[in-house]
Structures are given as C-alpha cells and as structure tokens.
Amino acid sequence: MKKLFGKKKKKQITAKKRYTEVRKCRFCKMTMKGIDYKDILNLQKLTSGQGKLFSRKRSGNCATHQRFAKIAIKRARFMALMPYVG
C-alpha cells in the first residue's frame, strides 16, 4: 500500500510542473494592449482541440488579457473563423 501512495504523489508533482512551466503572460511579453479576433494563429494556442477556451492557469495569461482573449475568441466564432465547442 505504501508503495502505491508513493507513486501517486510522484504523478501529482509532474502534473503540477506542467502547469507551472508557463508563467508570464504571452501578450504582456509582446506588449500588446488588445487581441485581434482575426489573428487565428495566436487564438488557436489558447483553445483546445475541441475549441474550448483554456483557463488562465493553463494558458498563463494575466486577467486583462484573458478577458480580451475571451472576447476575441467569441467574435472569431461568430465570424466563423474558429469552431464552437464540439
């Protein structure tokens, strides 16, 4: 039993590391104020394969840029540049 618990702990640490790798907001690095709904290459990095928007923890964005990304992705979906979930 003890060995099993040890293995579980190791897995949790690796999962945490994966999340903490990305720390700084990519849009703050590029000194961008807003996010354009037409640059799909950047927006696709913030969504999963299904088209779901990544969380702030996963994407590494700051609060303001996550908000801009949310609006930009919703606009891109409406203009049929990006898929809705599914």
Distance of alpha carbon 16 from alpha carbon 20, whole angstroms? 6
Q: Which residues pair with 53 in a beta bridge?
A: 47
Distance of alpha carbon 83 from alpha carbon 61, whole angstroms? 21
Of the listed pieces 11-19, 24-32, 37-45, 50-58, which binds Zn ion according to CB under 5 A?
24-32
Q: Nearest distance from residue 42's CB to Zn ion, in Å?
A: 13
- What are the two backbone dihedrals, phi and then psi, of residue 3, each rounded to the nearest 5 degrees? -60, -40
Residue 25 binding Zn ion, by CB under 5 A: yes
Instruction: Find the residue with minimal CB distance to Zn ion.
Output: 25
Among 43, 65, 73, 76, the residue binding Zn ion under the rule CB under 5 A is 65
Contact residues toward Zn ion (CB under 5 A) are: 25, 27-28, 62, 65
